[in-house]
Amino acid sequence: MARRRILYEGKAKVLYAGPEPGTLVQHFKDDATAFNAEKRDTVEGKGVLNNRISEYVFSHLNEIGVPTHFIKRLNMREQLVHEVEIIPVEVVVRNIAAGSITKRLGVEEGTRLPRSIIEFFYKSDELGDPMISEEHITAFGWANPQEIDDMMSLAIRINDFLGGMFAAIGIRLVDFKLEFGRQVENDMVRTILADEISPDTCRLWDAQTNNKLDKDRFRRDMGGLVEAYREVAQRLGILQENEPIKTRGPVLVK
Ligand code: TMP
């Protein structure tokens, strides 16, 4: 079998050329990084869980008419996606203060924000993803005003949908990060959701105990990361108790 062509390798995922033009295979690794990869480790089973959780979220978003890159899951670690040109802007939506906003603005962790807040960060590992405004995005040409509008209105719809989805299983959606891409179809370009939505890219707190069910367990050396991600998957009904998720070794793409 021929070796697959790697098109891009990020910290937690690899993108391979897909079976048809305009498609890619998105592979979820077990690698975990934080603080711009200053902290790194391998957490066995994380990639499998994120693949399943992200599949679940993206399928539902597709169903409600949010355009996404997701086509279908291929196997335990991989999904088939539409190829897009990634817009180099990370869109963060916050409902409750946690993480960088607590330090930047001195808001106490856990404070419910007066309304949902959208923030933009420039996607640059060298610069450590600095926070930016719409002015920077348009001045430097990272996205045009229409694309910014698309990203913001999609982010609000996604927040409403995810907030309800997690509330129904006793989880608070504290914040999350989105990435969008440009999909070219004939001579049309449209803005669609790309990347992943998983406990790596969201903050999720148990509604009763405020127990963290996300990557903060890794960032803060709390342990129990896979157990927390598994809890999220089980509550979503996409994983049975005791279902094995640890897959080492070769994986085949259908
Ligand atoms: P922050 O509080 O560190 O700015 O993070 C906000 C949200 O974005 C949080 O849910 C974690 C997520 N996030 C990523 O997915 N990737 C990143 O590189 C960073 C910094 C945050």
State how beta strands 70-73 and 202-206 pair: unpaired
Ligand 1 centroid–CA 201 distance in Å is: 6
Number of Cβ within 10 Å of residue 250's Cβ equals 6
Residue nearest atom 2 of ligand 1, based on CA coordinates: 99
- Binned at pLDDT 50, 70 and 90, residue 117 comes out as very high
- Binned at pLDDT 50, 70 and 90, residue 2 comes out as low
CA gap 66, 75 in Å, rounded = 24
User: What pLDDT digit, counting tens, does each position of 93-112 carry?
Assistant: 999 999 999 999 999 999 99
The minimum-distance atom of ligand 1 relative to the CA of 100 is 2
> What is the average pLDDT across 224-236?
98
The answer on pLDDT for 237 being more than 60 is: yes
Quick one: CA dihedral 70, 33, 108, 130, positive or negative?
negative
- Binned at pLDDT 50, 70 and 90, residue 147 comes out as very high
% of the chain surpassing 70 pLDDT: 96
Amino acid at 217: R
> Are residues 12 and 200 in contact, defined by beta-carbon separation less than 8 angstroms?
yes
Exposure string of 168-179, with b = 16+ CB inside 10 Å and e = fewer, is eeebbbbbbbbb
- pLDDT in the model for residue 249: 52
Q: Where in the chain are all domains bearing CATH 3.30.200.20? A: 6-83+224-236
User: What pLDDT digit, counting tens, does each position of 184-211 carry?
Assistant: 988 999 999 999 999 999 999 999 999 9
CA gap 154, 177 in Å, rounded = 12
Pocket of ligand 1 (CB under 6 A): 92, 99-101, 129, 175-177, 201-203
Question: For residue 251, what are the CA distances in angstroms to 20, 53, 81, 160, 239?
Answer: 19, 19, 17, 35, 20
> What is the average pLDDT across 11-38?
97
Ligand 1 centroid–CA 177 distance in Å is: 6
The minimum-distance atom of ligand 1 relative to the CA of 176 is 10
Alpha helices in 64-196 (DSSP H): 100-105, 134-139, 145-167
Provide the token pair at 25: 């295979």
> What is the average pLDDT across 60-84?
98
Q: Measure CA of the first residue to CA of the last residue in the chain; give whole Å.
A: 12
- Binned at pLDDT 50, 70 and 90, residue 242 comes out as confident
The answer on pLDDT for 248 being more than 70 is: no
Ligand 1 centroid–CA 90 distance in Å is: 9
More confident site: 243 or 125 = 125
Q: What is the mean pLDDT of the chain?
A: 95
- Binned at pLDDT 50, 70 and 90, residue 154 comes out as very high
Class of domain 6-83+224-236: alpha beta
CA atoms within 13 A on the CB side of 170: 12
> What is the average pLDDT across 44-70?
98
Question: For residue 13, what are the CA distances in angstroms to 10, 100, 126?
Answer: 5, 23, 18
Provide the token pair at 167: 């509330």
The minimum-distance atom of ligand 1 relative to the CA of 201 is 15
Q: What is the pTM of this model?
A: 0.95
The minimum-distance atom of ligand 1 relative to the CA of 119 is 4
- CATH number of the domain at 85-206, please? 3.30.470.20
> Are residues 197 and 162 in contact, defined by beta-carbon separation less than 8 angstroms?
yes
Q: Where in the chain are all domains bearing CATH 3.30.470.20? A: 85-206
